[in-house]
Each structure stands twice: as C-alpha cells, then as structure tokens.
Amino acid sequence: MKFPGIRRHHFGEYLYVPNPIDIKVYDKLYELQSNIRHKYWQDFIEQYRLNCEFKNDISEVDIDTDYVLMLFFKERTDKNGKNELILNNKLEVNFLPNYLFGFETQKYKLKIQTRKQKDYYPRRPFLQIYTKELPNPTMFP
C-alpha cells in the first residue's frame, strides 16, 4: 500500500495523513461506500493491493491485530469529529474525511469517544486496512 499522498513527515508517534488518496478518487469511493463490491472499489483495492473491510463506525475497529490502519470516510453532514479517538489516554486524534490513521497495537491502546446525544451522528465510517506492518517512512518522499 503506497497511497500517493503519504509523505515521510506524516510518520511520528503514529501515522496520520491528510488526503492520502486523490480527492476525486476519495469522492467516488465515498459515493459508493454502500457498495464496496462495485468495480470502482474493486479496482482501488486491487491497485493498492489492500486486504480491507469497510465498517460503519469507528467503534467497530478491529484491534486484535498488530497494526491498525484506518482510512476515514466521515459523513459530509457530520459537523463533529474532534478528538474522536484517543491513544493511551493522552494522544487525541480527529476523525476527518480522507485521513489515514495508523498505529501499533502493542504500543498504543485505542479509546473511541462516545458522542453526546445532542452531537450524535449515527455513522463514523472507515475502511480498515489489514497489514502485517505499518508502511516504512523511507518508502515515501
């Protein structure tokens, strides 16, 4: 997996990448998110050789893996997203559209914030990408 928007400086305590894929590609995937079997999705998955699963809410993330890698598909009408994910009870991560987020589960424990009812939006969709290791920063410019 080598998305074109990833740069070496996106790697730190965890991986957090704005616009890892072209916005036009992201928009098309967003529009087709209810049909991951669509040819456009399948071509995308094949192009980047992804082992992945689309999930309706970040609370469904599978943390029983060595590495968690998530591509966020935030609903356009969702005005929330600030500090939705917390690593080790201190590192706050925003749930933003077309952001790639990754971390090692041995180093970090993930907590998903529960939204208050007045702020509640029913879905926080994402693509979980299963990988045996996080991308190496030296692979990117």
List, for residues 113-137, the tens digit of each pLDDT value: 877 655 566 789 999 999 988 887 8
Specify the pairing of strand 67-72 against strand 99-104: antiparallel
Q: How far is 115 from 22, CA to CA, in rounded Å?
A: 29
Assign 25 a pLDDT band (cuts: 50, 70, 90). very high
pLDDT at 120 (0 to 100): 62
Share of the chain above pLDDT 70, in %: 96
The whole-number pLDDT of residue 119 equals: 59
CB neighbour burial string for 75-85, b if at least 16 within 10 angstroms, e if fewer: beebebbeebb
Q: What pLDDT does residue 140 have?
A: 80
Confidence at residue 76, expressed as pLDDT on a 0 to 100 scale: 85
Question: Is the alpha carbon torsion for 95, 44, 64, 13 positive or negative?
Answer: negative
**Count of alpha carbons within 13 angstroms of residue 5, beta-carbon side:** 17
Q: Is the pLDDT of residue 60 over 90?
A: yes
Taking residues 97-126, report their average pLDDT.
Answer: 84
The reported pLDDT for the residue numbered 28 is 98
